[in-house]
Amino acid sequence: MPIEMHPTRWGDPARASALPEATRGLVELVFPVIDRTVGDDEAVAIPTSRLPDEVVAELYGIVGARHVLTDDASRRLRTRGKSTPDLLRARAGDLSDAPDAVVRPGSHDEVQALLGVAARHRVAVVPFGGGTSVVGGLVARRDGYAGVICLDLLRMDRLLDVDPVSMTATLEPGVRGPQAEALLAEHGLTLGHFPQSFEHASIGGFAATRSSGQSSAGYGRFDAMVVGLVVATPAGTVRLGHAPASAAGPDLRQVFLGSEGAYGVITAVAVRVRALPGERRYEGWHWPSFDAGVEAMRTLAQSQLLPSVLRLSDENETALDLAHPDSIGSAGDGPSGGCLMIVGHEGTAATVSARRTAVSAVLAGLGGTSVGEEPGRRWAAGRFDAPYLRDSMLDLGVLVETLETAAHWSRLRSTYDVVSAALKASLGEPAMVLCHVSHVYETGASLYFTVAAPEGDDPLGRWTAAKRAATQAIVGVDATITHHHAVGTDHRPWLEDEIGALGVEVLRAVKHAVDPQGILNPGVLVP
Amino acid sequence: MPIEMHPTRWGDPARASALPEATRGLVELVFPVIDRTVGDDEAVAIPTSRLPDEVVAELYGIVGARHVLTDDASRRLRTRGKSTPDLLRARAGDLSDAPDAVVRPGSHDEVQALLGVAARHRVAVVPFGGGTSVVGGLVARRDGYAGVICLDLLRMDRLLDVDPVSMTATLEPGVRGPQAEALLAEHGLTLGHFPQSFEHASIGGFAATRSSGQSSAGYGRFDAMVVGLVVATPAGTVRLGHAPASAAGPDLRQVFLGSEGAYGVITAVAVRVRALPGERRYEGWHWPSFDAGVEAMRTLAQSQLLPSVLRLSDENETALDLAHPDSIGSAGDGPSGGCLMIVGHEGTAATVSARRTAVSAVLAGLGGTSVGEEPGRRWAAGRFDAPYLRDSMLDLGVLVETLETAAHWSRLRSTYDVVSAALKASLGEPAMVLCHVSHVYETGASLYFTVAAPEGDDPLGRWTAAKRAATQAIVGVDATITHHHAVGTDHRPWLEDEIGALGVEVLRAVKHAVDPQGILNPGVLVP
């Protein structure tokens, strides 16, 4: 049974741990540490379920009473997502966004029927997979609705089809990352999608939010892996994708990808898969500066010579190694100062060897220094652990949060500069702003920022102001408001900056066509 | 000044030529040859321009009188596209689809203003670039409209911006293929988009129809090259694309790509570009069967080891070598029988050498036989010439037309079989059905069919029936109704098979949002 996450923290409670003493000492050197440990969150009250009895009865009729959960514990575990504001609200005892019921459909037809009930009774529906949204994607507007249903899709967790000739597989939306890999591994296949949320997030969520994983350099973004979709909407079912590519008008797959539960419930996703790599080799390269490392990434991307994993920490992140609290403050294995790049190759022994030789030659030629496999091993071992560290820091009264963007290469440095400056100016001393590049393309790359700052009297207000300042800076330099975290409610104020007023009108027009009653994830993506 | 094509034939009249005697002799062996040479098409009457004077006056006000053409010759040259049905209608003296006026805007703002005039007066607007549509994409419905304007975009032919760091370039929609390459070559860059229509078709058309070129294996489809778009619609301007990738909701670029002039007029396209290759090496490989060659293509695609050009003719096309009429019936250079594959490598000398070595090893290992560079040279020399051959065949009373689809690898052979059978059954003896694969992906490939048959008493009806049979077969085997030629009017009856009734409703909803009066290319794409 997969872990259901508490609204106050990430992941498996058994894997949470206090910071090592040395690390805690270092944190105390930088930040004013206070005890913000939260107690048993089962003690926190959540609003009473207010779903009308007749609706509950109809839901029973579709999925059976055992799959309609209105108890406090079930609703608590599906309250909001996992942004720092989400955690801060829950830590402060605010679970006011709890759904009125959790409904667990087992099939596409059940989802379709549930949408019919919700539409008739004007009940808001929040599609819910791993619950890992960090953009407010799981908080429905309540005004004007008879209640809010969390549509928990985790029962829909089958591998529906494998086509080893076409190298495609069809998965239900509730299959989580590790389960997808396990199911595909039985056929010698991999999806190759490893976002930080991998251990909890689901296939449907990857599709609905345009997720991108840590191996995107080699395997591509999730939206680029999708060859077909089945979507249940209040207006009916949409089935898309007959071929690897088509010129039959607009690509509607790219309309439902990124639709964030506001256009429908994705009930099946056909993805391109690859052969399970026989070999994985992750190693570290040291660069004298962030700019030098970025230039090397650009060279690889524009030479169509990308490894499977390519990630570059800036000077601050390299020095801190935030993902490895046991080594914070240590000098690391490589030369001191400068920037660490993780270069990972996956494939057959032959392809790994050939690709590694070619990539290494380029990196060495551009001034990089190989620092061996130890940094790669350490990165791989801790690649999904950063959210646990965030919880530990929140327990010490240190606000930790991330945000991300992407820009064309020619504007990447200016984007980095203005966003860093905006975050520092907003958060003041002694805030830390770290950054890495983890997704590269021929024309540009992503920037992923992590901040740490004393939470102060109003941590939520403090972060909201910093996020606003950073996003204004992003918009000002013509970068994207989100590279791989979706719009949700948190980025909605800037959607018009991204796609224009008419673009927003187009999204609304589609919304009205597929969800005329406006019951799907109201308030998310399209106002 | 680029060639303006006559409605009865392809391209530059100076390049048209009768078939060599030997070839003509061969055609006569197979088909009943009759003289269908058409005369001077300036003699064919076209309908009188019926655009109201007040509309013409307003158009003058925007672009100036010299850019509003209502004379017969200008309108004749922009009547319909270049499908065989289009040519047959024109050859039969039917130019009833001629626009009432040709308007030539010089800027985005002029396009925007022209759309305002058209919307106010309910005048249909057909965006027009190279005029090479083969799916009826340039024929507007007339009922209920005050007239039809051809919006000729060829004055908008500038390279607006080059970003050599991000490797992007922004082009106006009226830049034709050769001109795009020439403009980019000044910066040492290439777009790498070479569809058969290359010499005439335009950037705006490539985007609006999701074109795919002969070098798609190495450079990708046109829709995959686009990083940004500016679109003028009756409801206002849409500007899209701030970054190489984004998770900010649905990807609206993929809604306007493939919108076929029905959602707006594309006025600027930002594309990913590559370094101009220093070396191009095209060579032939012989395969004992089509299946063996297809399997080799699949292996390369799924090994992420694609050359720049990869094309495989089936046994019939290999034997006939239709694109090289001077050699029709010759045994060719390689082993007799079997299938010819063209493998082209482009890049630096080093990358061509490395890629060629790796690709050749795979091909030889799978049973392919290298037949040297001569077939590659011949293919490259004639790669844009097939439409001229079609004209020569039409002059002999032989109906020649093409159609294309794409399918996942596991269904490629069955798609090939059912479409071939449908075409043969519909056209009867002595029809010829040839096929090649020219676009490959990890999950599948395209199939491009060419047919030749006696035109009979009703060539248009004959082809319409064959096309219907082939498309029904395509739909029946769950392949796509078009891989790179768009929907137009010709594929519209099957759009619902492709995207479902609700998918069509979504397209209509978008149409209504951007073109509430329905003036843009009415009848194309969305009914």
pLDDT in tens, B44-81: 789 999 999 999 999 999 999 999 999 999 999 999 99
CB pair distance less than 8 Å for B212 and A247: yes
CB pair distance less than 8 Å for B513 and A514: no
Residues sharing a CB contact under 8 Å with residue B93, sequence separation 6 or more, in sequence order: B44, B45
The shortest CB-CB distance from B509 to any of A244, A442, A513 is to A513
Query: pLDDT confidence of A25, banded at 50, 70, 90?
Result: confident
Q: Residue A325 pLDDT more than 60?
A: no
The shortest CB-CB distance from A441 to any of B245, B358, B500 is to B245
Which pair of tokens denotes residue B63? 């672009």
Q: Please, what is the average pLDDT of chain A? A: 94
Mean pLDDT of B504-518: 98
DSSP B322: T
Give the whole-angstrom CA distance, residue B51 versus residue A465. Answer: 57
Chain centroid offset of residue B200 CA = 10
Give the pLDDT confidence score for residue A334 in this predicted structure.
45
CB pair distance less than 8 Å for A502 and B212: no
Question: Of chain A residues 78-97, which have a CB less than 8 A from chain B?
Answer: none
Mean pLDDT of A223-236: 98
Tell which of B274, B408, B414 to mutate to test the A interface (max A CBs under 10 Å). B408
* Chain A residue numbers touching B514 (CB-CB < 8 A): 502, 506
Least Cα separation, residue B436 to chain A (angstroms): 17
Q: Does A525 touch chain B (CB under 8 A)?
A: yes
* One-letter amino acid for residue B429 of the chain: E
Nearest CA in chain B to A509: B509
CB pair distance less than 8 Å for B255 and A250: yes
Q: Does B410 touch chain A (CB under 8 A)?
A: yes
Q: Are the C-beta atoms of residues B514 and B469 closer than 8 Å to each other?
A: no
Q: Residue A74 pLDDT more than 50?
A: yes
Q: Residue B39 pLDDT more than 90?
A: no
Tell which of A239, A246, A474, A487 to mutate to test the B interface (max B CBs under 10 Å). A246
The shortest CB-CB distance from A246 to any of B256, B406, B507 is to B406
The shortest CB-CB distance from A510 to any of B439, B446, B509 is to B509
* Chain A residue numbers touching B486 (CB-CB < 8 A): 247-249
Give the whole-angstrom CA distance, residue B78 versus residue B104. Answer: 12
Q: Residue A260 pLDDT more than 70?
A: yes
* Chain A residue numbers touching B411 (CB-CB < 8 A): 166
Give the pLDDT confidence score for residue B25 in this predicted structure.
87
Question: Can you tell me the ipTM of this complex?
Answer: 0.96
Tell which of A443, A507, A511, A524 to mutate to test the B interface (max B CBs under 10 Å). A443
- Nearest 10 degrees: Cα torsion A121, A127, A128, A133: -120
Least Cα separation, residue A510 to chain B (angstroms): 6
Tell me the H-state helices in B92-232: 108-121, 177-185, 203-209, 216-219, 222-225
Could you count the other beta carbons within 10 Å of the beta carbon of residue B501? 12
Q: Residue A53 pLDDT more than 90?
A: yes
* Chain A residue numbers touching B406 (CB-CB < 8 A): 243-246
Q: Residue A1 pLDDT more than 60?
A: no
Give the pLDDT confidence score for residue A323 in this predicted structure.
47
Least Cα separation, residue A393 to chain B (angstroms): 28
Give the pLDDT confidence score for residue A2 in this predicted structure.
60
CB pair distance less than 8 Å for B442 and A498: no
Question: Of chain A residues 248-267, which have a CB less than 8 A from chain B?
Answer: 248-260, 263
The shortest CB-CB distance from B441 to any of A245, A250, A251 is to A245
Give the pLDDT confidence score for residue B336 in this predicted structure.
66
CB pair distance less than 8 Å for B212 and A245: yes
Q: Residue B1 pLDDT more than 60?
A: no
A380-399 burial, b for 16+ CB within 10 Å, e for fewer? bebbbbbbbbbbbbbbbbbb
Q: Residue A43 pLDDT more than 80?
A: no
Which of the two residues, B39 and A140, has the higher pLDDT score?
A140
Q: Are the C-beta atoms of residues A11 and A199 closer than 8 Å to each other?
A: yes
In this complex, how many residue pairs, one in chain A and one in chain B, have their CB atoms less than 8 Å apart? 292
Give the pLDDT confidence score for residue B332 in this predicted structure.
45
Q: Please, what is the average pLDDT of chain B? A: 94
Residues sharing a CB contact under 8 Å with residue A475, sequence separation 6 or more, in sequence order: A481, A494, A497, A498
Give the pLDDT confidence score for residue A185 in this predicted structure.
98
pLDDT tens-digit profile of A355-394? 999 999 999 999 999 999 999 999 999 999 999 999 999 9
Q: Give the 3-state secondary structure of residue B393.
A: helix
Output Rg (C-alpha) for chain A, integer angstroms: 23
* Chain A residue numbers touching B365 (CB-CB < 8 A): none
Mean pLDDT of B403-419: 98
Give the whole-angstrom CA distance, residue B438 versus residue B434. Answer: 13
CB pair distance less than 8 Å for A238 and B406: no
Question: Of chain A residues 198-217, which have a CB less than 8 A from chain B?
Answer: 209-212
Give the pLDDT confidence score for residue A337 in this predicted structure.
87
Q: Residue B40 pLDDT more than 90?
A: no
Burial status of residue B85 (CB atoms within 10 A of its CB: 0-12, 13-18, 19 or more): buried
Q: Residue A329 pLDDT more than 50?
A: no
Query: pLDDT confidence of A26, banded at 50, 70, 90?
Result: confident
Rounded to two decimals, the pTM is 0.96
Give the pLDDT confidence score for residue A4 in this predicted structure.
82
Burial status of residue B457 (CB atoms within 10 A of its CB: 0-12, 13-18, 19 or more): exposed
Cα–Cα distances (Å) from A299 to A359, A445, B166, B298, B321, in that order, read: 10, 12, 11, 28, 41
Nearest CA in chain B to A208: B249
Q: Residue B325 pLDDT more than 70?
A: no
Tell which of B254, B443, B481 to mutate to test the A interface (max A CBs under 10 Å). B443
Q: Does A406 touch chain B (CB under 8 A)?
A: yes
Give the pLDDT confidence score for residue B343 in this predicted structure.
98
pLDDT tens-digit profile of A385-414? 999 999 999 999 999 999 999 999 999 999
Least Cα separation, residue B330 to chain A (angstroms): 35
Query: pLDDT confidence of B41, banded at 50, 70, 90?
Result: low
Q: What are phi and psi of B345, to 5 degrees?
A: -115, 135
Q: Residue B427 pLDDT more than 80?
A: yes
Q: Give the 3-state secondary structure of residue B409.
A: helix
Task: Give one DSSP letter per residue of B471-484, joined into a string.
Answer: HHHHHHTT--S-SS
Q: Residue B138 pLDDT more than 90?
A: yes
Least Cα separation, residue B340 to chain A (angstroms): 23
Least Cα separation, residue B165 to chain A (angstroms): 5
CB pair distance less than 8 Å for B247 and A163: no
pLDDT tens-digit profile of A440-487? 999 999 999 999 999 999 999 999 999 999 999 999 999 999 999 999
Lowest mean pLDDT among A73-87, A208-222, B42-56, B394-408: B42-56
Give the pLDDT confidence score for residue A17 in this predicted structure.
76
Q: Residue A513 pLDDT more than 80?
A: yes
Q: Residue A161 pLDDT more than 60?
A: yes
pLDDT tens-digit profile of A192-229? 999 999 999 999 999 999 999 999 999 999 999 999 99
The shortest CB-CB distance from B255 to any of A163, A248, A255 is to A255
B241-259 burial, b for 16+ CB within 10 Å, e for fewer? bbbbbbbbbbbbbbbbbbb
pLDDT tens-digit profile of B433-481? 999 999 999 999 999 999 999 999 999 999 999 999 999 999 999 999 9
Q: Does A317 touch chain B (CB under 8 A)?
A: no
Q: Does A405 touch chain B (CB under 8 A)?
A: yes
Lowest mean pLDDT among A55-64, B260-269, B315-324: B315-324
Least Cα separation, residue B32 to chain A (angstroms): 36
pLDDT tens-digit profile of B80-110? 999 999 999 999 999 999 999 999 999 999 9
Question: Of chain B residues 465-524, which have a CB less than 8 A from chain A?
Answer: 478-487, 491, 495, 498-503, 505-510, 512-514
* Chain A residue numbers touching B410 (CB-CB < 8 A): 163, 165-166
Query: pLDDT confidence of B14, banded at 50, 70, 90?
Result: confident
Q: Residue A39 pLDDT more than 90?
A: no
CB pair distance less than 8 Å for B498 and A167: no
Give the whole-angstrom CA distance, residue B469 versus residue B418. Answer: 10
Q: Are the C-beta atoms of residues A53 and A72 closer than 8 Å to each other?
A: no
Q: Residue A327 pLDDT more than 80?
A: no
Q: Residue A13 pLDDT more than 90?
A: no
Residues sharing a CB contact under 8 Å with residue A500, sequence separation 6 or more, in sequence order: B236, B237, B238, B239, B240
Give the pLDDT confidence score for residue B419 in this predicted structure.
98
CB pair distance less than 8 Å for B486 and A247: yes
Give the pLDDT confidence score for residue A331 in this predicted structure.
41
A501-524 burial, b for 16+ CB within 10 Å, e for fewer? ebbbbbbebbbbbbbebbbbbbbb
The partner residues of B432 in beta bridges, in order of sequence, read: B452
Mean pLDDT of B399-416: 98
Nearest CA in chain B to A348: B303
